Amino acid sequence: MHLMHINFMHIKHMSSEKNHQDDGEDWDESLTEKIFLGHNLPKQPHQPTDKNPKNDSPLPLVHSDLDEYGLDPYEFRLYAHVVRRTGGKLHGECFAKLKKTAEICHMSVRKAQYALKTLCDAGLILKEQRRGRTDVYRLTPKSNWKPKEELKQIRQKAKESKVEDSEEE
């Protein structure tokens, strides 16, 4: 983001100079929007930040279906964690202890329980309970997701229900 800001300011400065030299016009606000949205940015040479290529890979994009689904910050964070743990694959498994998952996601265990229940009830993830062991969470295809218009009701129902104190805590 810092690099984009520098590029943006550099482009704005160059364009302003050009505008003032040519015809005295001010900065074109539509150009600001195009640049902010990533259009017309000059290509930056790839500069590795680490010798480990795993740490230098580009971050994934969040699909608009997920971004606009209406998850609260806790649900969204936990979903992102499950995606990471499963490798983003439907057959992948996320089976970390609930306490550790909550810690990684910077929330209380109770918040994590409610968020996971909401994600399961909304059909974004599946939960497999294993007696005496951690539960396993799996991603589901988008076709399993309940309509986003039902999310508020699903969330309220999850908060009103008693979440089980899991054996994995």
Element of type H or E holding 8: helix 2-22
- Distance, CA of 98 to CA of 81 (rounded, Å): 12
Confidence (pTM): 0.65
Higher pLDDT among residues 33 and 119, named by residue? 119
Question: What pLDDT shows up at residue 126?
Answer: 96
| Residues ≥6 apart with Cβ < 8 Å to 118 | 75, 151, 154, 155, 158
pLDDT in tens, 57-102: 777 789 999 999 999 999 999 999 999 999 999 999 999 899 999 9
Sign of CA dihedral 118, 121, 126, 132: positive
- Distance, CA of 95 to CA of 78 (rounded, Å): 13
- Cβ atoms within 10 Å of 70's Cβ, excluding its own: 15
- Distance, CA of 118 to CA of 156 (rounded, Å): 9
pLDDT in tens, 126-154: 999 999 999 999 999 999 999 999 999 99
Average pLDDT, the chain: 76
51: Cα within 13 Å, side-chain hemisphere: 0
- Parse the chain into domains and list their residue ranges: 2-36, 64-160
pLDDT of 29 > 50? The answer is no
CATH 3.40.1160.10 corresponds to the domain 64-160: no
